[in-house]
């Protein structure tokens, strides 16, 4: 069985909008270079204004969908716990992908990937708790939520940062933004 790194090598990734993978409206892709060799190892979709508008429209439609509204906060927390479990299960692989993509030390990336599920578990537990303010701090990230806005700091690895920024908005449109694995 091929590893994810092997599957991505030479691949072209698409955008995930409205529950499906789509080609960027511009047709443009960004090259990602392997820092060890300087060679392109995959291409990522280069989303532009049209793609952003489509993603926002899809997220708004998901929020307006009665099926989403019927999902309880506790059920949403369960979805996040499932994602956390999958992240934990694949932490080693995520660390290897991040190392290949940005050249950081494998030991450092594995450590970051290993603690990432903890934050998802924490926020999953918050989905059915009503509070006006909370803070979560650990060695890898710090978050603060006031009203309807969230602030997230730390984590400098792109793939892990993407996951981190999505979890801060778990109380709202999270499942429409990140597909469940």
Instruction: Provide the residue ranges of all domains of the chain, joining segments of one domain with +.
Output: 1-70, 72-181
φ/ψ of residue 22, rounded to 5:
-135, 150
Res 160: pLDDT: 57
Burial 14-25 (b: 16+ CB within 10 A, else e): ebebeeeeeebb
Please name every residue paired with 153 in a beta bridge, in sequence order, or none if there are none.
142
User: What's the CA gap between 43 and 31, in Å, rounded?
Assistant: 5
How many residues are present in the chain?
181
Classify 132 as helix, strand or coil: coil
Q: Which structure tokens are listed for 15?
A: 């955008």
Are 103 and 36 contacting, i.e. CB atoms less than 8 angstroms apart?
Answer: yes
Confidence (pLDDT) at 34: 87
Secondary structure letter of residue 141 according to DSSP: -
User: Does the predicted model carry a pTM greater than 0.75?
Assistant: no
Note the pLDDT of residue 83. Answer: 94
CATH architecture of 72-181: 3-Layer(aba) Sandwich (3.40)
pLDDT number for residue 145: 52
> Can you list the alpha helix ranges (DSSP code H) found in the chain?
4-8, 49-64, 66-70, 73-89, 91-102, 106-126, 158-167, 174-177
CA 181 – CA 177 distance, rounded (Å): 13
Per run of 10 residues, the mean pLDDT along the chain (length 181 residues) is 74 93 96 90 94 95 89 93 94 89 90 91 86 55 49 48 47 38 34
User: In angstroms, rounded to a whole number, what is the distance separating the alpha carbons of residues 154 and 91?
Assistant: 18
Predicted pLDDT of residue 85: 96
């Amino acid at each position: 069985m091929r590893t994810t790194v092997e599957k991505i090598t030479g691949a072209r990734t698409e955008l995930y909008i409205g529950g499906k993978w789509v080609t960027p409206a511009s047709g443009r892709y960004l090259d990602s270079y392997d820092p060890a060799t300087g060679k392109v190892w995959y291409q990522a979709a280069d989303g532009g204004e049209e793609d952003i508008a489509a993603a926002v429209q899809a997220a708004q439609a998901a929020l307006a969908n009665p099926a989403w509204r019927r999902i309880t906060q506790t059920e949403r927390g369960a979805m996040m716990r499932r994602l956390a479990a999958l992240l934990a299960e694949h932490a080693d692989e995520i660390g290897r992908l991040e190392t290949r993509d940005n050249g950081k030390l494998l030991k450092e990336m594995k450590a970051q990937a290993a603690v990432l599920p903890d934050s998802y578990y924490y926020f999953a537990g918050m989905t059915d708790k009503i509070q006006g303010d909370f803070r979560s701090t650990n060695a890898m990230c710090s978050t603060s939520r006031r009203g309807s806005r969230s602030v997230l700091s730390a984590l400098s690895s792109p793939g892990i940062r993407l996951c981190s920024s999505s979890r801060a908005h778990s109380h709202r449109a999270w499942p429409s933004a990140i597909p469940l694995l």
